[in-house]
Amino acid sequence: MQSRLSKYSYIFAIALFVFGACGTEMNVPELITPNHSIIKVSQESNENTINIGQHIDFADVSQGISTREWIFPEDSSVVVEGNPLERQVRGFFNKVGTWDVKLHQEFNGEAYVGTETINRGTNIIDTTITVTVLPQVEITALMANLLSGTGEVGDEIPLSAETPTEIPFGSVLRFKYTAEGGPSVIAGFFDGAQLLAEDVANSTFDMKFVTLDKVYSIAPTFTRPSPFSTDTVLVTQFVKCVRSDEPVTLDAVTNDLDRNTILVFSRGLDAATLFKEDFVVKMTTGGGASVIPEIESAQLNPQDLSNVVIKLVDDMIYSDDMVTVSYIGTKLATQDAALVTPFTDEDLSIKEINLLEEEEFDYSMENSAVTWVAGRTGWLGGDFTNTLTKTTDKATDGATSLKISVNAYNGAGPWGNASIIEPTILGEFQKFQYEAEGSNKLQISFDVFVESNGGVTDPTVPNQFFSNMRMHVMWGAGGAEQAHPLGGTVEGEWRKLTDVVTVDPGNAPFHMGIKVAQTGSENLTFYIDNIVVSRWNPRP
């Protein structure tokens, strides 16, 4: 009996081994390769826009492909490196214009394309990639005219005369240029003259010349940030400032980086006529208290004699102060002896550093290397936009703004059609650095132009509220940013919206995010420009 049981146990063990082995072999998974078209282009984050003479790399990283062919324009200016039948090729583009590069793919079965969830119903996929080739920035003409106090364009000023043209000191010249390559930033060497304004759309910039008896040379630099290209024009000894018959005016009251008060006059002043006792600074704090601080000194800025720098004793200008300045003296005069008229309680416009501009962030929508995309941070919002593009139709800073149009409410989300829009560069979020300072408060401001306010709130929205937007510092403030109503608001004009938040430096670097909650019964269309993120230092 015992031996029979042992024999049966042995047979049973063999059976388990055999059937187990068969089962293991039968359960080996079959490897199925999807038919999926995916193409990578080295300049896709820059909308495939390059300088003349540069190259773009094209890569086919598709799965399930049987054959492919890259097809380049039949033009001698387009040079191809690599085998057009291989995965990756490189194209050099040596002529300005737009060029179509095509990829013909044949797959082993019906293929999907990109992020599409339904296949195309065919195994043949043809794709066209448009490349834009821009010329290098080149200034082909530059001229200057005197600008009157009322903004009228006057006499032309020669830029290459043998002797400098005499102009009343304090004069403003308007420069008009003709350029190839679309420069959008003007900077450079101005020899102490003040760059007052730039109008890229009309190819002009204004400069003020403020020092008596000085002969000026300038070297403005014209830059296109992306693809980067620049050109500099040297204009030597072309104007000399002489005495003026115009009255001296106070052009601005602001502050410098050290939080001192700055008075900007229309032309250079005589330091011997400047006395601190002739000025009164008044402050109203954020808490409502009135303060008249003692003035430590009043001096001319040695780099710009039209600027008076007022320093206070043991005090400074805080972000939440309301400040006025008065001049009560009788002796302050310009270098050509024109007396400054006394003034009372002129408001100071507080100037802050834009952290985004310091980091070359795409705050004014001028950087073509940056693409604003919707729906990347999916849990914060999807993509309900029908238009998301940079445009030159409207702008407040530079030539470009961001146009956003969101579909009418679709009846699904309790908080409207929620879209999150964020800047990316080379496929990654564009970020800016932040270092802890003081209370770690930031002020966020931006310009918005509502073209279509979305109409009335859709009656099916569970939480009845107008369409709104938030300008997020991600992820610094934890979503505490203010909701600014857009639905039902005025259309057809630029407005500046502001917010103050406290950020956590431990989450830096940050990036920006535009959160739109659309509840309207019609499309909501608006433009964003000139995003400013600055430190907010309230009075203790």
pLDDT at 252 over 60: yes
Same-domain check for residues 304 and 443: no
pLDDT of residue 67 exceeding 60, the answer is: yes
CATH code, 265: 2.60.40.1220
- Residue 33, pLDDT above cutoff 90: no
- Please tell me whether residues 113 and 176 are part of one structural domain: no
344-374 residues labelled b (16+ CB within 10 A) or e (exposed): eeeebebebebbbbebebbbbbbbbbbbbbb
Q: What is the pLDDT of residue 327?
A: 98
- pLDDT at 468 > cutoff 60: yes
Termini Cα distance of the chain: 97
Under 8 Å between Cβ of 117 and 132: no
Largest CA distance in the chain: 132
Give pLDDT, residue 378: 81
pLDDT at 19 over 70: no
Identify the pLDDT of residue 27: 59
Residue 301 lies in a domain: yes
- Which CATH number goes with the domain that contains 213? 2.60.40
Last residue of a domain, one of 92, 116, 134: 134
HSE-CB of 313 using CA atoms within 13 angstroms: 8
pLDDT for residue 134: 94
The pLDDT score that the predictor gives to residue 461 is 74
What local confidence, expressed as pLDDT, does residue 438 receive?
Answer: 85
Instruction: Confirm whether 30 is domain-assigned.
Output: no
Is there a single domain that holds both residue 278 and residue 393? no
Looking at the structure, do residues 83 and 222 belong to the same domain, yes or no? no
220 inside domain: yes
CATH code, domain with 458: 2.60.120.260
Domain limit, last residue, from 348, 368, 397? 348
pLDDT in the model for residue 443:
95
Q: Which of the four pLDDT bands, split at 50, 70 and 90, describes residue 367?
A: confident
Asked whether residue 215 is assigned to any structural domain, the reply reads yes
**237 and 293 inside one domain:** no
Please give the pLDDT value at position 20. 45
Determine the average pLDDT of the residues in 131-135: 95
Query: Which residue intervals of 40-86 are DSSP H helices?
Result: none
pTM: 0.72
d(C-alpha 59, C-alpha 82), whole Å: 11
Burial of 145 (0-12, 13-18, 19+ CB in 10 A): middle
CB neighbours of 262 closer than 8 A, spacing ≥ 6?
252, 253, 254, 255, 256, 301, 307, 308, 309, 310
Residue 5 lies in a domain: no
Domain match, 500 and 385 both? yes
* 97 inside domain: yes
* Per-residue pLDDT at 6 exceeds 80: no
- Domain boundary pick from 305, 320, 348: 348
The percentage of residues in the chain with a pLDDT greater than 90, rounded to a whole number, is: 70
Query: What does the pLDDT look like over 278-308, one tens digit per residue?
Result: 999 999 999 999 999 999 999 999 989 999 9
Whether residue 427 is predicted with pLDDT greater than 90 in this model: the reply is no
**What pLDDT shows up at residue 455?**
87
φ/ψ bin of 150: left (φ > 0), alpha (ψ from -120 to 50), beta (otherwise): alpha
Q: What is the pLDDT of residue 41?
A: 92
Question: In this structure, are 518 and 381 located in the same domain?
Answer: yes
Q: Quick one: pLDDT at residue 282? A: 97
187 and 221 assigned to the same domain: yes
pLDDT, one tens digit per residue, over 323-349 is 999 999 999 999 999 999 999 999 999
**Residue range 520-539: average pLDDT?**
94
**414 three-class SS:** coil
- Say if residue 456's pLDDT is above 90: no
Matching residue, tokens 């002969």: 215
Residue 8 has pLDDT above 50, yes or no: no
State yes or no: pLDDT of 393 exceeds 60.
yes
Can you tell me the mean pLDDT for 199-221? 93
Residues 205 and 325 in one domain: no
Count of domains forming the chain: 4
CA distance linking residue 36 with residue 114, whole number of Å: 7
d(CA 86, CA 382): 36
pLDDT value, residue 123: 96
User: Does 5 have pLDDT greater than 70?
Assistant: no
> Which residues have C-beta within 8 Å of that of residue 67, sequence separation ≥ 6?
85, 105, 106
Provide the pLDDT for residue 29: 61
Residues 392 and 521 in one domain: yes
Residue 271 clears pLDDT 90, i.e. is over it: yes
User: Percent of the chain scored above 70 by pLDDT?
Assistant: 94
Which one is predicted more confidently, 10 or 491?
491
pLDDT of residue 2: 44
What per-residue confidence (pLDDT) applies to 453?
Answer: 93
pLDDT tens digits for range 409-424: 887 767 778 899 999 9
Let me know whether 231 and 298 are in one domain.
no
In a domain, residue 528? The reply is yes
Residue 463 forms part of a structural domain:
yes
Shared domain for 450 and 490, answered yes or no, is yes
pLDDT of residue 368: 78
Mean pLDDT of the region 460-485? 84
CATH number for the domain harbouring residue 51: 2.60.40.10
More confident residue, 227 or 104: 104
Tally Cβ neighbours within 10 Å of residue 140.
Answer: 9
Residue 101, pLDDT above cutoff 60: yes
Give mean pLDDT, residues 508-514. 93
**pLDDT higher at 113 or 24:** 113
Domain of residue 126, residue span: 36-134
Edge-first strand order for the sheet with 138-147 is 153-157, 138-147, 171-180, 204-209, 194-199
